[in-house]
Amino acid sequence: MGVGTMPTLVWTASPKAMAGYEVQVEVATGNFSKPTVPVDVVVGTTTFTVPMAAGLVPGTQYHWSVIAENMYGSMTAGPFTFTP
């Protein structure tokens, strides 16, 4: 059973991510060259709910990653996977 077509992605806070987090979601390739969901930057939270407008297809595997950003650069966690 999948996570639904509007899953909430959750990650552990990075104490140095002062500029926020960039969230990427893509169909199963995992290289994020063609994001399925437009890249979104979130600030002040460690969750992101994939919008219904993303049109996730049930039974399809998706990869996601989160990039912690600050004035010195960035650090990526993932890719992780989910299937709606």
- Tens digit of pLDDT for each residue in 30-80? 577 777 777 778 888 889 999 888 888 999 999 999 988 888 888 888 889
Query: Which CATH number is 58's domain given?
Result: 2.60.40.10
78 located within any domain: yes
pTM, 2 dp: 0.81
In terms of residue numbers, what domain contains 65? 8-82
2 located within any domain: no
1 located within any domain: no
State the Cα–Cα distance between residues 52 and 30, nearest whole angstrom: 21
The continuous run of DSSP H or E covering 48 comes out as strand 47-49
3 located within any domain: no
**Can you give the pLDDT at residue 29?**
65
One-letter amino acid at 52 equals M
Alpha-carbon distances of 66 from 31, 50, 51, 58, 59, rounded to whole Å: 13, 13, 16, 22, 22
- The number of folded domains in the chain is 1
